[in-house]
Chains A and B, each alone.
Chain A
Amino acid sequence: MAKSRPNISIDTPYLIKQIQPKLDNESRRLFGKRILSLGALSMLSGCTLTDEHSVEKMLISVSHWNDKVQAFLFDPNKLAPTYPESMITTPFPFNAYYGQDEIRDIDGDQYVLQLGGHIQHKKPWRLAELALLPQTTQVTRHICVEGWSAIGKWGGVRFSDFLQRIGADTSAKYVGFKCADNYYTSIDMPTALHRQTLLTLTFADRTLPREYGYPMKLRMPTKLGFKNPKHITEIYVTNDYPGGYWEDQGYHWFGGA
């Protein structure tokens, strides 16, 4: 016996209108999540796929194609521009998917970096051990997906050196990151091996401040800001597409800058 479907339709434009006043500036980023949950809601309620959904699907498949184009364009030998220290932006902007009052406090002495996936030596790393590895610094431009940019000085371990040291399978497709603030993202292997990709421990020659990702972030001047995870607690190498916090909501995964 066929069950009759509940006749529920969601007036998305109306709901958005209701939400909109709450969305300006700081909560702008929440908007994406709500759009997504609205979409998920209408799926759950058994509505047939609307035109809006097929348009969205089409846009997302074009976005995946664009990821391939960016990966194809990516030249491992091309360096992002570097700047004199006089051009460093002060104060350097704080940016996250949450407000400044929610920045995680992490105890550096208790901190452990976990390793997983296609990695030979999965022994966890302590902060002091990371600090003993050869360090390098760079003054580069951080470009946000929103359009603003700021120049900063980051220091740390060249990520390609680190990957080599831990015996990562560099023929794998992705490197994924899990963070103490529940953020997660992933990058392509060529970018992971790029010379300017740094496991960052310092900012402006000082210990990495909490607002910029203490105790450790990944810094890539060849990628947009949201691709640069902060407070990293786990690094894993995989061939299965790991996605990311913003990427799963619609930001383009490759996120080249």
Chain B
Amino acid sequence: MPAIALHPLTIRICHWLNAIAVFLMVTSGWRIYNASPIFNFTFPKAMTIGGWLGGGILWHFAAMWLFGINALIYIGVNLYSGRLRHKFFPIRPQQLWADINDALHLKLQHTDLSHYNAVQKCAYLSVMVAIAIAIGSGLVIWNSSQFPLLRELMGGFDNARIVHFFAMVFMVGFVLIHLVMVALVPVTLKSMGFSRPRLFKSVSLKSKSLEV
């Protein structure tokens, strides 16, 4: 029986590159935020990278290439292979409601790793949107005079900073919940890893077409 990878190799590579990129973008972003806080707080220096504003900017504008290109590859592969449609759609409102209810009562089952429940579908799709918004607002902050349409879409330069901030908040919130879920269902970590065997015998594999 051939080993079945739960996630295609490209997706797994993208996932870990994204983890590195998000870590660098968020921690350097906090360093940049501290130079001129939008709200009445700053991030602890120990949680930032770059040492000073210039260093934070160097990290942020280097890691943005990894973050952006990796995101494009991820979305490209997902669209081209049809994985996006298969894995994340459809989301039925009734199902979503039932799954949210189960999740809140800690009853939502994770036994079948081959397909996402409606809460997962929503979470993964919305973090993809948050990443797109983070990149869009980031472009406006980076070089606002050259992206007039995007700037208007973000409500101007100052507002783009606020949008950028909350896109970060959403991403960080997602990561925290994501890590808790991985801790609760550790086999999901293995499924995103590279060690053999990648077949999960303990898991009922309902669908054979899970490769895409």
Name A residues whose Cβ lies closer than 8 Å to a Cβ of B.
16, 20, 28, 31-32, 35, 56, 58-60, 62-63, 66, 70, 73-75, 78-81, 141, 143-149, 221-222, 246, 249-252, 256-257
Contact = CB atoms under 8 A, between A and B. Distances in A.
Interface stretch (B59-67, B83-91, B193-201): B59-67
Contact of A32 (B32, B52, B65, B142): B52
B148 interface: yes
Nearest to A223: B145
A31 B33 CA distance: 16
| B interface SS class | helix
Given A28-B53, A60-B58, A145-B53, A222 B36 contact: no
A16 B46 CA distance: 12
Interface in B154-177: 157-158, 161
Interface in B29-58: 32-33, 35-36, 38, 45, 51-55, 57-58
A75 B58 contact: no
A9 to B, nearest CB: 19
Contacts of A148: 36
Interface residues of B, number: 28
B145 A78 contact: yes
B45 A257 contact: no
Contacts of B54: 32, 246, 249-251
B52 A59 contact: no
B143 interface: yes
A138 B200 CA distance: 66
B28 to A, nearest CB: 10
A19 to B, nearest CB: 10
